[in-house]
Amino acid sequence: MYGPISIEQIRQWIAEGRANAQTVAQTEGAADWKPLGAFPEFAGASPNAPPVLQHEDLRKSKLIAGLLGILLGSLGVHRFYLGYTGIALAQLLITVLSCWILSPITAIWGLIEGILILVGSTITTDVDGRALKEQ
């Protein structure tokens, strides 16, 4: 529930697709709710158009994940990016707790995973099961 709001704000919402002739409203002091199309000020409101919803692409980039694996793989950054925090922490802790003595091993590990991500071999999804996008 919103309000009170101005007629200009409602017109803006109609223009943005956030409201239409079927959206119910109440005039100040009235007890009943009516569709906007019933008010003379909004008689020309888009009759049946539903509000426009923006779709957000939540997929992670294959290119970014692969490059992070190749460049920062010894720190597990690519795995953090994809949401695999357990493996990422393992790579990070092996590198840091060994005072970087074992960093060549984790670097090779990250390099291999980065290449596998880029070629789409074994790591093809993030932790939520969403396929990596090809960008």
CB 69 within 8 A of CB 117: yes
pLDDT at 129: 93
Average pLDDT value for residue range 34-61: 76
Helices (H), the chain: 7-16, 62-72, 77-82, 85-97, 103-119
Average pLDDT value for residue range 33-60: 76
| Beta-carbon count within 10 A of 113 CB | 25
Q: Is the pLDDT of residue 1 over 60?
A: no
Model pTM score: 0.62
